[in-house]
Homo-oligomer: A and B are copies of this chain.
Amino acid sequence: MINPTLLQRRSDELAEVGRFCFSRGWLPATSGNLSARLDDRHVAITVSGRHKGELDASGIMVVDLDGRVLSEGLRPSAETELHLMLYRRDPSIGAVLHTHSVHATVLSRLVGDTLELADYEVMKAWPGVATHATRLALPVFANDQEIGRLAGRVEQALRADPSLPGYLIAGHGLYTWGASVMDARRHIEAFEFLLECETLTRRMTG
Protein backbone atom coordinates (compact mmCIF):
# COMPACT_ATOMS: atom_id res chain seq x y z
CA MET A 1 0.00 0.00 0.00
CA ILE A 2 1.06 3.58 -0.74
CA ASN A 3 1.24 5.81 2.33
CA PRO A 4 -1.31 8.58 1.56
CA THR A 5 0.57 11.17 3.63
CA LEU A 6 3.76 10.47 1.72
CA LEU A 7 1.92 10.64 -1.61
CA GLN A 8 0.42 13.98 -0.60
CA ARG A 9 3.82 15.34 0.41
CA ARG A 10 5.48 14.27 -2.83
CA SER A 11 2.52 15.60 -4.85
CA ASP A 12 2.86 18.96 -3.11
CA GLU A 13 6.58 19.05 -3.87
CA LEU A 14 6.00 18.20 -7.54
CA ALA A 15 3.24 20.82 -7.81
CA GLU A 16 5.57 23.41 -6.30
CA VAL A 17 8.50 22.61 -8.58
CA GLY A 18 6.04 22.67 -11.50
CA ARG A 19 4.85 26.16 -10.58
CA PHE A 20 8.43 27.37 -10.17
CA CYS A 21 9.65 25.93 -13.49
CA PHE A 22 6.55 27.16 -15.31
CA SER A 23 7.08 30.67 -13.93
CA ARG A 24 10.59 30.60 -15.43
CA GLY A 25 9.22 29.50 -18.83
CA TRP A 26 10.72 26.01 -18.58
CA LEU A 27 7.43 24.07 -18.81
CA PRO A 28 5.29 25.74 -21.51
CA ALA A 29 2.01 24.38 -22.85
CA THR A 30 1.69 21.18 -20.73
CA SER A 31 5.20 20.12 -21.78
CA GLY A 32 7.58 18.34 -19.40
CA ASN A 33 6.93 15.74 -16.73
CA LEU A 34 7.83 15.41 -13.08
CA SER A 35 8.14 12.42 -10.74
CA ALA A 36 9.21 11.48 -7.22
CA ARG A 37 9.91 8.11 -5.64
CA LEU A 38 7.40 6.84 -3.05
CA ASP A 39 9.14 3.60 -2.06
CA ASP A 40 11.36 0.91 -3.62
CA ARG A 41 8.57 -0.12 -6.03
CA HIS A 42 6.49 3.00 -6.72
CA VAL A 43 6.72 6.55 -7.99
CA ALA A 44 4.36 9.52 -8.16
CA ILE A 45 4.32 11.04 -11.66
CA THR A 46 2.41 13.74 -13.52
CA VAL A 47 -0.72 12.69 -15.42
CA SER A 48 -0.42 13.01 -19.22
CA GLY A 49 -1.37 16.40 -20.68
CA ARG A 50 -1.71 18.38 -17.45
CA HIS A 51 -0.52 21.96 -17.17
CA LYS A 52 2.61 21.84 -15.02
CA GLY A 53 2.13 25.38 -13.69
CA GLU A 54 -1.24 24.51 -12.15
CA LEU A 55 -0.80 21.01 -10.75
CA ASP A 56 -2.81 19.74 -7.82
CA ALA A 57 -3.19 16.23 -6.39
CA SER A 58 -5.50 15.27 -9.29
CA GLY A 59 -2.61 15.83 -11.69
CA ILE A 60 -0.28 13.36 -9.94
CA MET A 61 -0.73 9.56 -10.17
CA VAL A 62 1.04 6.41 -8.98
CA VAL A 63 2.82 3.85 -11.17
CA ASP A 64 5.08 0.98 -10.18
CA LEU A 65 8.63 0.63 -11.48
CA ASP A 66 7.43 -1.63 -14.32
CA GLY A 67 4.96 1.00 -15.50
CA ARG A 68 1.77 -0.53 -14.11
CA VAL A 69 -0.81 2.13 -13.29
CA LEU A 70 -2.11 2.13 -9.71
CA SER A 71 -4.30 5.25 -10.12
CA GLU A 72 -7.45 3.95 -11.81
CA GLY A 73 -8.54 5.71 -14.97
CA LEU A 74 -5.47 7.93 -15.31
CA ARG A 75 -2.81 7.83 -18.01
CA PRO A 76 0.76 8.75 -17.07
CA SER A 77 3.04 10.80 -19.29
CA ALA A 78 4.05 9.09 -22.51
CA GLU A 79 7.64 9.51 -21.31
CA THR A 80 7.13 7.62 -18.05
CA GLU A 81 9.65 4.93 -19.01
CA LEU A 82 12.43 7.55 -19.12
CA HIS A 83 11.70 8.15 -15.43
CA LEU A 84 11.26 4.50 -14.40
CA MET A 85 14.50 3.36 -16.01
CA LEU A 86 16.36 5.81 -13.75
CA TYR A 87 14.57 4.72 -10.56
CA ARG A 88 15.18 1.03 -11.35
CA ARG A 89 18.89 1.37 -11.93
CA ASP A 90 19.73 3.72 -9.04
CA PRO A 91 17.97 3.33 -5.67
CA SER A 92 19.47 6.65 -4.48
CA ILE A 93 17.40 8.60 -7.02
CA GLY A 94 14.39 10.19 -5.32
CA ALA A 95 13.10 12.49 -8.08
CA VAL A 96 13.33 12.88 -11.87
CA LEU A 97 12.40 16.18 -13.52
CA HIS A 98 12.07 16.87 -17.24
CA THR A 99 11.88 20.51 -18.31
CA HIS A 100 11.48 22.09 -21.68
CA SER A 101 13.11 25.51 -21.92
CA VAL A 102 13.87 27.67 -24.94
CA HIS A 103 17.61 27.45 -24.26
CA ALA A 104 17.59 23.64 -23.88
CA THR A 105 15.50 23.31 -27.04
CA VAL A 106 17.62 25.57 -29.20
CA LEU A 107 21.06 24.47 -27.99
CA SER A 108 20.15 20.79 -28.21
CA ARG A 109 19.26 21.26 -31.90
CA LEU A 110 22.53 23.06 -32.68
CA VAL A 111 25.38 21.37 -30.82
CA GLY A 112 25.44 17.82 -32.19
CA ASP A 113 25.49 14.86 -29.82
CA THR A 114 27.36 16.48 -26.92
CA LEU A 115 27.31 19.84 -25.17
CA GLU A 116 30.67 20.58 -23.54
CA LEU A 117 30.49 22.49 -20.24
CA ALA A 118 33.68 23.52 -18.42
CA ASP A 119 35.07 25.74 -15.67
CA TYR A 120 31.81 27.14 -14.31
CA GLU A 121 31.53 27.65 -10.55
CA VAL A 122 27.88 26.56 -10.65
CA MET A 123 28.92 23.01 -11.65
CA LYS A 124 29.59 22.52 -7.93
CA ALA A 125 25.79 22.19 -7.62
CA TRP A 126 26.10 18.57 -8.80
CA PRO A 127 26.89 15.80 -6.34
CA GLY A 128 30.58 14.99 -6.00
CA VAL A 129 31.83 18.13 -7.75
CA ALA A 130 34.13 20.19 -5.49
CA THR A 131 35.74 22.63 -7.92
CA HIS A 132 34.86 24.80 -10.88
CA ALA A 133 37.79 23.18 -12.72
CA THR A 134 35.40 20.56 -14.01
CA ARG A 135 34.44 19.34 -17.45
CA LEU A 136 31.11 17.73 -18.41
CA ALA A 137 30.18 16.27 -21.77
CA LEU A 138 26.39 16.51 -21.59
CA PRO A 139 24.86 13.95 -23.99
CA VAL A 140 22.25 15.10 -26.51
CA PHE A 141 19.99 12.31 -27.78
CA ALA A 142 17.95 12.54 -30.97
CA ASN A 143 14.25 12.96 -30.19
CA ASP A 144 12.21 9.77 -30.55
CA GLN A 145 8.50 9.07 -29.96
CA GLU A 146 9.42 5.43 -29.22
CA ILE A 147 10.23 6.00 -25.60
CA GLY A 148 11.52 2.47 -24.88
CA ARG A 149 14.18 2.83 -27.55
CA LEU A 150 15.15 6.28 -26.28
CA ALA A 151 15.34 4.95 -22.70
CA GLY A 152 17.66 2.21 -23.94
CA ARG A 153 20.03 4.76 -25.42
CA VAL A 154 20.02 6.82 -22.24
CA GLU A 155 20.70 3.72 -20.14
CA GLN A 156 23.68 2.86 -22.30
CA ALA A 157 25.13 6.34 -21.71
CA LEU A 158 24.58 5.97 -17.96
CA ARG A 159 26.34 2.62 -17.95
CA ALA A 160 29.31 4.29 -19.62
CA ASP A 161 29.26 7.18 -17.10
CA PRO A 162 27.17 6.50 -13.99
CA SER A 163 27.99 9.96 -12.56
CA LEU A 164 26.15 11.73 -15.39
CA PRO A 165 23.88 14.38 -13.78
CA GLY A 166 21.48 14.82 -16.73
CA TYR A 167 21.01 14.78 -20.49
CA LEU A 168 19.28 16.64 -23.32
CA ILE A 169 16.86 15.42 -25.99
CA ALA A 170 17.20 17.44 -29.20
CA GLY A 171 14.38 19.97 -29.71
CA HIS A 172 12.74 18.64 -26.59
CA GLY A 173 14.49 19.49 -23.34
CA LEU A 174 16.40 18.46 -20.25
CA TYR A 175 16.23 15.42 -17.95
CA THR A 176 17.89 15.59 -14.57
CA TRP A 177 17.42 13.89 -11.18
CA GLY A 178 18.48 13.88 -7.55
CA ALA A 179 18.03 12.33 -4.13
CA SER A 180 14.98 14.54 -3.51
CA VAL A 181 12.69 16.86 -5.45
CA MET A 182 14.64 19.82 -4.02
CA ASP A 183 17.96 18.29 -5.12
CA ALA A 184 16.66 17.65 -8.62
CA ARG A 185 15.31 21.21 -8.76
CA ARG A 186 18.74 22.54 -7.80
CA HIS A 187 20.18 20.54 -10.70
CA ILE A 188 17.61 22.04 -13.08
CA GLU A 189 18.54 25.53 -11.90
CA ALA A 190 22.23 24.80 -12.48
CA PHE A 191 21.62 23.28 -15.93
CA GLU A 192 19.30 26.04 -17.10
CA PHE A 193 21.81 28.60 -15.89
CA LEU A 194 24.57 26.86 -17.84
CA LEU A 195 22.44 26.54 -20.97
CA GLU A 196 21.77 30.29 -20.83
CA CYS A 197 25.47 30.97 -20.32
CA GLU A 198 26.42 28.78 -23.27
CA THR A 199 23.79 30.36 -25.51
CA LEU A 200 24.89 33.87 -24.61
CA THR A 201 28.58 32.99 -25.01
CA ARG A 202 28.00 31.57 -28.47
CA ARG A 203 26.05 34.68 -29.48
CA MET A 204 28.86 36.94 -28.25
CA THR A 205 31.75 35.01 -29.72
CA GLY A 206 30.01 34.24 -33.00
Contact = CB atoms under 8 A, between A and B. Distances in A.
Interface of A: 24-25, 28-31, 51, 100, 102-103, 105-106, 109-110, 119-122, 125, 130-133, 143, 145, 169, 171-173, 182, 186-187, 189-190, 192-193, 196-197, 199-206
Report copies per complex: 4
Contacts of A203: 203-204
A128 to B, nearest CB: 14
A31 B132 CA distance: 12
Given A100-B121, A105-B120, A193-B29, A204 B110 contact: yes
A173 to B, nearest CB: 7
A132 B186 contact: no
Nearest to A193: B28
A119 B170 CA distance: 9
A43 B133 CA distance: 30
Contacts of A182: 51
Contacts of A109: 119, 201
B121 A31 contact: yes
Contacts of A196: 102
A110 B201 contact: yes
28 contacts: A28-B190, A28-B192, A29-B125, A29-B186, A29-B189, A29-B190, A29-B193, A30-B125, A30-B186, A31-B121, A31-B122, A31-B125, A100-B122, A102-B200, A103-B200, A105-B122, A109-B119, A121-B143, A121-B169, A121-B172, A121-B173, A130-B145, A132-B172, A133-B145, A199-B200, A202-B204, A203-B204, A206-B206
